[in-house]
Structure 1
Amino acid sequence: MDHTLVIVESPAKANTISRYLGKSYKVAASVGHIRDLPASTLGVDIDNDFKPRYITMRGKENVVRDLRNLKKESSSVLLATDPDREGEAIAWHLANILKIDETTPCRITFNEITKKSVEDALNSPHQIDMDLVNAQQARRILDRLVGYELSPLLWKKIRKGLSAGRVQSVTTKIIIDREREIKAFIPVEYWLITVHLCKKIDDPVFRVRYHGELEDNKVVKYSIDNAEQAEDLIKDLTDADYIVHKVTKRESKRQSKPPYTTSTLQQEASRKLGFTSARTMRIAQQLYEGVNLRDQGATALITYLRTDSVRISPIAIEAARNYIEKEHGNTYLPNKPRYFKNKKAAQDAHECIRPAHFDLSPQTIRNQLTDEQYRLYKLIWDKFIASQMNAAIFDTTSADVKAKTHIFRVRGETMKFPGWMKQYGMLPDMQEEETDELTKENLPDLEIGDQLIFVKLDSEQKFTKPPARFTEATLIRILEELGIGRPSTYAPTISTILNRRYIDKDGRFLIPTDLGFLVTELLEEHFTKIIDPYFTAEMEENLDKVETGEKDWIKLLHEFYPEFHSDVEKADKSIDKVEIPVVQINEKCPECTEGNLVIKHGRFGKFVACDRYPNCNYTRAIEVEAPGICPLCGSGLLAKRAKKRRSSKFYVCDKKGKDPDCKFISWDLPSGKNCSVCGSYTVKKKFRGKEYEKCSNAECTTNKKTKNKKETADTANENTDKNSRIKTETKSNINSKQTIK
């Protein structure tokens, strides 16, 4: 009875905290939530002010028994669950089940699991924050009411296994609205006219692009809308001289962005590392709770991962500045620390996501982390250190080139000082959409009046593009902008709508399914508020007010439920059974020979089945013709969808060619080309939205990180030949003035 019991959520967190506590403390884990609303009933007494009925979760009986026994053996208990709504609710449930007075100082919290933070928390225990608990209860009960009444309606009117929810249904609608925009989009034709120029014959070539016309000594922007306009412009340029009309030179500074919040970490891990939001949160949880390091044991590497704040503690700023001065020198260190403003809706309960130990750089512990832990930790480390470094400085040159009255424009920039990019990387954050402007050309020293040498001219027909489909990164960004959900809900919400088959993935893009459209259209017709992003955002604001004590949680539920329940009752009476369309494929069933084959919707998407089910159980995957030819036998290709990797396509031979037993199968679409090094077929790959070709032979030297000297020499020779060709082409085109692509 001479020790204090400290209870946390996870065994990993318990293991890490134990390092900093002496023999007078014993640390145990609740292994997440221990009580919840029952799964089989509503569990909410609506007529008694929405009083919840909590029960011990299935499988947690032994955990509760062990914690009760440990409490009997302890002189006191401290509840050290996570410092947020969920953590506070877990602490409250633990206090109830262990008969601890919640008004006593039984609660401790810390933003990072370090020796100092844990010791500071032990020295300042406090009572459980019931505003936080009630905020969690309000969300839980609200979500239970919506889900418990809407989901059975969907089962009854559409099919079993469906669900609707306060956040998931709005998120699905946002994706569907974007798809509607894409389908309604009408492309508009336009043309790009690009001229290749150089200052002297042997100088590097740079490009300028048509921008507009010089009218009354002012540049007026024009677009080229069709082939006729493009041809007229090209014809008029036949005998034109290209003169530098205007040059603007300036020094520009590019400041680093703030350190990560939960949302920005999920977005950037998606763009830069290709991680899903769920994967990012799983790895970040490991880094927060602690990983085993050889010389130190279980060690937490980052601060708390669920935060919408960019606030930084003075201690962390000082540690970052010391690191920058040591690793990069004074020129990279600002005179004053950099502070960042939180967004208006930010709770500011925690710091940003940052490293917890500044003596443990990613490189020093790389071989003690898994590959995914290292990559995410390095991303967090680099972002935080970069946020406290000086701006990157660029010399930027913008130039207008005149050809008769036609104005061509270009912009180039040269890095003068890398600043924060030395830590974070030379490339800025990836842009989701491409631009037609020339902004990164390597320009020579240009002066007004310089006459430039024409090399060639390219004309390209283009069409405006519809808005891009959402990726996980762009979806999280729009959810945050609209105020829908909170940092901890983004990942589970996306996982839910994928698992329900409302949304599919094509590469990294989110695409609504027929089922998603069907459910959303039903909700739009009968539950306008539930499906309205602005109503959902307003509800989030009210729930935040519960958290700060500005609003009573029971009153909030009374304001919401009566109208919602009335809508459910009306919909139940007015909605007829919705039949999911069955598509005939004009084939007889090969198994029973009596039924017709139809396309059905299942747990893993669409599939082909016999319409005599359950009398006939014949099924097969849907096969869609894919572009290209089989690289093994020259026949056609089919695209199939993997059963256990629902978002993934794979490709097989259609076996209609010279080899009916062809075994070709690949996750990637063949490009129709062969590798120049080993002769194997190449496949099309995508990385960060860009398509490239890769050799299918894993042993080919083109797939190795370090290529052999011969390849390096070949590449160098090829580049030399290319430069020679450019120079020759430049000289030969000086007189002809024009080559049209």
Structure 2
Amino acid sequence: MPKNLVIVESPAKAKTIEKFLGKDFQVESSFGHIADLPSKELGVDVENDFQPKYIVDKDKKALVTKLKGLAKKAETIWLASDEDREGEAISWHLAEELGLTSKNTKRIVFNSITKSAIQKAIENPREINYNLVNAQQARRVLDRLVGYQLSPVLWKKIKPGLSAGRVQSVAVRLIVEREREIEAFTPEASYRIKGMFKTKGGKTFEAKLNKTFGSKEDAASFLKQNISTDFSVAKLDKKPAKKSPAAPFTTSTLQQEASRKLYFSVGRTMQVAQRLYEAGLITYMRTDSVNLSKEALTAAKEAIVANYGESYSTVRNYTGKSKGAQEAHEAIRPTDMKLQSPSLERDQSKLYELIWKRTLASQMSDAQLERTNVRISSSGHQEEFTANGEVIKFEGFLKVYLEGTDDEETAEEQDGMLPAMVVGEALKNQYITATERFSRPPYRYSEASLVKKLEELGIGRPSTYAPTISTVINRGYVEKGTIEGSERKYAQLVLEDGEIKEKGLSEMVGSDKGKMVPTDIGMIVNDFLVTHFTKILDYNFTAKVEEDFDEIATGDEDWKKVMKAFYDDFNPTVQDVEANAERASGERILGNDPASGKPILVRLGKFGPMAQIGDAEDDEKRFASLLPDQSITTITFEEALELFKLPRKLGVYEGEEVEANVGRYGPYVKFGKKFISLDKGESAFEVEMDRAIELIKAKQKADAPIAHYEDKEVTKGVGRFGPFLKWNGMFINVNKKYDFDNLTKDDIVELIEAKKQKEIEKLVQEWPEEGIRIEKARWGRHNIIKGKVKVELSKDVDASKIALDEAQALIEKKMPKKKTRAKAKPKAKKS
């Protein structure tokens, strides 16, 4: 038995560390936290100084038993979870649950998984830092208080199943407010002037007028002033300039740049970075620091000099906005700067290369530039055209890397090179254009720009950005936009050869593809929280809470005092809102129904956004679901009225009624009990009977048996997991080994028999008369199954020894209780 037990939080991390330690060390994983607050109750004793109630989940009990046994046999236990607050809390929970003592327990931290870093950590152990533990507890407890007290208010006042959170609700607020800015924006048109000029030497370049015109008439009038006029170089300025490299990556800048350059989502970036870190290729990827160690600076310099020469190297020390104890030792960098292109899977390779280039560029010389500004005068008017040019004299860091920009920032037009000119030189004008352009609304947030905004406001920390974004999307408060945009026409006037002509052009505008768009429920929840919980949704308050956590982490603040100050203000507000606030549905009255005179309104209903004819007291009110691309906040009266034309009766086919309608998954045709989706671009308002029959026949053909086996039909289809066969109630995946469109009889038999054998191998016990069986499941577990009821057994249970009465008892416990209705009291007779 090894003398040393090393416990980390990740199996991949354990595997890498094992390579650097000898036979005296055994490395095990805790698979994250082994203890946490219970999932189905508050788990915080508010009356007893906010004492958390930590429990070991049933899934972790076998693991904890195993680690306890290993710890008892080891001479020294090394707690080696990550060096941030979350990692410190994991080590603390391990010490508590395994009953470890300071006598033989050591805490080690490292920000990269390399042999030298691990050995250095073992040579410099420390004790658990309880300030960091308390900072993590404070965040966990405060977020639990907010979530568990706000969510029931939302269930009662808006809709069951909703949730709220301290950071997620503020993120939704940012997205909703941006959407409202876009909705309120009115584009204004103006005409921008550009001209193409030719020098004496025959070189052409473009110049623009630093003035716009508000109407086509004014723009045309200006163009007329340029007919038969002479142009010349009025002024020529050349100035040296420089560009400096960006700092090495922090968590948020890595997320932003991976989005810009690699089109990774924030979650994907963190998953890939985690794998690179656990493989020992980069330093810890949750950090606010832009610092590099002396070893890293030396390694970067050596790599730069070796690849590009001494003149490209400039050692730089960056300083960032300190976040106290949350800040890790270093920025994100490769652990070995000599390793430029390790053999990795595609996503890891791309992200590693991005980190390597950014780190290297941060230690390179400035790019030396020469910027030129030319002003062009006209004999026909006083306005001047201008052109800017840029020449790179020395590439410096640009040889390796240039930081990207966000699309929401108005990017300046790229400066190109200008031809040689002298002051007073005559220029020939080839043409001048006056192009109608429209002012643009603010851009919707992308994942990366939302992270940037949250960081600017001081909201959240590196570990919170990815889960915050995934939470607001999974909750249905925000969705990724899918609209490509719409066509907008604009005019262009062209002066050429002394004649002005007009062109009609078009452009795509209003695209929200991939951007963060609030849903109706997101807007309603946000408005309710902003109205009734102003402080919780306040940006400054949320940032102040983060500062409190930082002070707790440095030992300058007591976490329980912070909780008490928050709760004493928060709890009375919750009680008041729950008792007195009105229900929220986002209701908008659009007008009156022309046929009945009843009001037409839109609101949030039990199954989502809906239109309604008639008020709440109307016994004959009618309902219609909004289409997937419609919103309570923007739908018009005419669009709402159109919804009540659904479902459309199309006719009768094979004795069954055929109708068109719209459901939660879009437009469809209903034929008997079958629902057949319309193709993209087809509308339930426009589809006719001929097209419906075409879809029905295609569906019937797809659903028809392709064979029979053991006197039972075999059908095929394509589901979310790919192509499949269905036989005797079993779904059988068809892999790429088979030609799905041309399956032979032998193929079908082979697939069915393989599935039957797999089912036999899964079976542990069976009681056919009772309809109960025990099967093997994933991860070494077993399930007891009866009909649609499934009971998952703990890993440590021997499924082969379970008796029928035990299985029945577990099934009974799991089965939903039947609701009994109280008998209605007989109504009193009218006198």
Give the TM interval when normalised to the shorter protein. Answer: 0.7 to 0.9
Question: Any conservation in 2 of the 1:77–1:106 contact (CA below 8 Å)?
Answer: yes
For 1:297-376, what aligned pairs fall within 5 Å after superposition? 300-334=280-314, 337-345=315-323, 347-362=326-341, 365=342, 368-376=343-351
Question: Any conservation in 2 of the 1:393–1:415 contact (CA below 8 Å)?
Answer: yes
Q: Which moved more, 1:247-256 or 1:496-505?
A: 247-256
In structure 2, distance between residues paired with 1:301 and 1:328? 23
How far does residue 497 in structure 1 lie from its aligned partner after superposition? 0.4
Question: Any conservation in 1 of the 2:4–2:25 contact (CA below 8 Å)?
Answer: yes
Q: Which moved more, 1:101-110 or 1:532-541?
A: 101-110
In structure 1, distance between residues paired with 2:99 and 2:604? 56
**1:501-558: CA deviations, max 9, x gaps?**
1111112211111111100111111100011111100111111100011100000001
In structure 1, distance between residues paired with 2:145 and 2:361? 45
Aligned residues: 604
How far does residue 180 in structure 1 lie from its aligned partner after superposition? 1.3
Match of 2:544 in 1: 538
Q: Which moved more, 1:407-416 or 1:24-33?
A: 407-416
In structure 1, distance between residues paired with 2:293 and 2:567? 42
Distance 1:639 1:493, change over 3 A: farther
Distance 1:662 1:322, change over 3 A: farther
Task: Give the one of 574, 584, 597 matched to 1:568.
Answer: 574
For 1:492-571, what aligned pairs fall within 5 Å after superposition? 492-506=467-481, 507-571=513-577
Question: Any conservation in 1 of the 2:375–2:385 contact (CA below 8 Å)?
Answer: yes
Question: Any conservation in 1 of the 2:528–2:584 contact (CA below 8 Å)?
Answer: no
In structure 1, distance between residues paired with 2:684 and 2:102? 62
Match of 1:244 in 2: 233
Distance 1:431 1:22, change over 3 A: same
In structure 2, distance between residues paired with 1:356 and 1:434? 33
How far does residue 251 in structure 1 lie from its aligned partner after superposition? 2.2
The residue type paired with residue 459 of structure 2 is I
How far does residue 12 in structure 1 lie from its aligned partner after superposition? 0.5
Task: Give the one of 361, 386, 389 matched to 1:409.
Answer: 386
In structure 2, distance between residues paired with 1:157 and 1:29? 44
In structure 1, distance between residues paired with 2:135 and 2:470? 23
Distance 1:39 1:464, change over 3 A: same
Please give the TM-score of this superposition, normalised by the length of structure 1.
0.77
**SS in structure 1 of the partner of residue 432 of structure 2:** strand
**SS in structure 2 of the partner of residue 399 of structure 1:** strand
The residue type paired with residue 109 of structure 2 is T
**SS in structure 1 of the partner of residue 431 of structure 2:** strand
Question: Any conservation in 1 of the 2:208–2:387 contact (CA below 8 Å)?
Answer: yes
Question: Any conservation in 2 of the 1:105–1:126 contact (CA below 8 Å)?
Answer: no
Match of 1:714 in 2: none
Larger radius of gyration: 2
In structure 2, distance between residues paired with 1:223 and 1:239? 22
**1:264-303: CA deviations, max 9, x gaps?**
000111111111100000000000001xxxxxxxxx1000
For 1:616-627, what aligned pairs fall within 5 Å after superposition? 620-621=663-664, 623=666
Match of 1:581 in 2: 604
**1:555-577: CA deviations, max 9, x gaps?**
00010001111011000111233
Residue identity over aligned pairs, in percent, reads 42
Match of 1:478 in 2: 453
**1:101-125: CA deviations, max 9, x gaps?**
3587610000101111000000111
How far does residue 433 in structure 1 lie from its aligned partner after superposition? 4.3
In structure 1, distance between residues paired with 2:5 and 2:411? 63
How far does residue 326 in structure 1 lie from its aligned partner after superposition? 1.1
**SS in structure 2 of the partner of residue 181 of structure 1:** helix
**SS in structure 1 of the partner of residue 208 of structure 2:** strand
Q: Is 1:432–2:407 an aligned residue pair? A: yes
The residue type paired with residue 390 of structure 2 is E
Question: Any conservation in 2 of the 1:623–1:639 contact (CA below 8 Å)?
Answer: no
In structure 1, distance between residues paired with 2:408 and 2:400? 25
Task: Give the one of 254, 269, 283 matched to 2:243.
Answer: 254
How far does residue 50 in structure 1 lie from its aligned partner after superposition? 0.4
How far does residue 584 in structure 1 lie from its aligned partner after superposition? 6.0
How far does residue 185 in structure 1 lie from its aligned partner after superposition? 1.7
Greater relative contact order, per chain length (Cα 8 Å cut-off, separation 6+): 1
Q: Is 1:385–2:385 an aligned residue pair? A: no
How far does residue 235 in structure 1 lie from its aligned partner after superposition? 1.2
Question: Any conservation in 1 of the 2:2–2:23 contact (CA below 8 Å)?
Answer: no
In structure 1, distance between residues paired with 2:189 and 2:103? 69
Question: Any conservation in 2 of the 1:188–1:463 contact (CA below 8 Å)?
Answer: yes
Match of 2:133 in 1: 133
In structure 2, distance between residues paired with 1:59 and 1:519? 34
The residue type paired with residue 563 of structure 2 is L
Distance 1:305 1:652, change over 3 A: farther
Question: Any conservation in 2 of the 1:655–1:662 contact (CA below 8 Å)?
Answer: no
For 1:582-661, what aligned pairs fall within 5 Å after superposition? 598-599=624-625, 620-621=663-664, 623=666, 638-639=680-681, 661=694
**1:119-176: CA deviations, max 9, x gaps?**
0000111100000000000000000000000011111221122110110001100111
In structure 1, distance between residues paired with 2:98 and 2:403? 52
In structure 2, distance between residues paired with 1:186 and 1:595? 36
**SS in structure 2 of the partner of residue 442 of structure 1:** coil
**SS in structure 2 of the partner of residue 63 of structure 1:** helix
The residue type paired with residue 421 of structure 1 is L
Match of 2:86 in 1: 86
Question: Any conservation in 1 of the 2:289–2:322 contact (CA below 8 Å)?
Answer: no
Distance 1:246 1:201, change over 3 A: closer
**SS in structure 1 of the partner of residue 400 of structure 2:** helix
Match of 2:802 in 1: none
How far does residue 415 in structure 1 lie from its aligned partner after superposition? 2.1
How far does residue 578 in structure 1 lie from its aligned partner after superposition? 3.2
Question: Any conservation in 1 of the 2:43–2:54 contact (CA below 8 Å)?
Answer: yes
How far does residue 247 in structure 1 lie from its aligned partner after superposition? 1.1
**1:403-435: CA deviations, max 9, x gaps?**
2311111111122222112222xx652342475
Distance 1:621 1:555, change over 3 A: closer
**SS in structure 1 of the partner of residue 450 of structure 2:** helix
In structure 2, distance between residues paired with 1:436 and 1:229? 27
In structure 2, distance between residues paired with 1:595 and 1:569? 34
**1:154-212: CA deviations, max 9, x gaps?**
11221122110110001100111111111122222221010011114742x2111011x
The residue type paired with residue 599 of structure 1 is S
In structure 2, distance between residues paired with 1:72 and 1:24? 15
Distance 1:9 1:268, change over 3 A: same
How far does residue 344 in structure 1 lie from its aligned partner after superposition? 4.6
**1:299-321: CA deviations, max 9, x gaps?**
x1000000000010000110111
Match of 1:281 in 2: 270
In structure 2, distance between residues paired with 1:79 and 1:396? 56
**SS in structure 2 of the partner of residue 106 of structure 1:** strand
**SS in structure 2 of the partner of residue 308 of structure 1:** coil
Match of 2:819 in 1: none
Q: Is 1:445–2:424 an aligned residue pair? A: no
Match of 1:645 in 2: none
Question: Any conservation in 2 of the 1:653–1:662 contact (CA below 8 Å)?
Answer: no
How far does residue 399 in structure 1 lie from its aligned partner after superposition? 1.1
Distance 1:243 1:350, change over 3 A: same
Match of 2:209 in 1: 210
Question: Any conservation in 2 of the 1:209–1:438 contact (CA below 8 Å)?
Answer: no
In structure 1, distance between residues paired with 2:562 and 2:278? 35
Question: Any conservation in 1 of the 2:34–2:64 contact (CA below 8 Å)?
Answer: yes
In structure 1, distance between residues paired with 2:662 and 2:216? 51
Question: Any conservation in 2 of the 1:135–1:544 contact (CA below 8 Å)?
Answer: yes
**1:337-386: CA deviations, max 9, x gaps?**
11111125465432000001223212xx2xx3111011111110110011
Task: Give the one of 190, 212, 215 matched to 1:226.
Answer: 215
In structure 1, distance between residues paired with 2:188 and 2:218? 15
How far does residue 389 in structure 1 lie from its aligned partner after superposition? 1.0
The residue type paired with residue 338 of structure 2 is D
Match of 1:724 in 2: none
Match of 1:265 in 2: 254
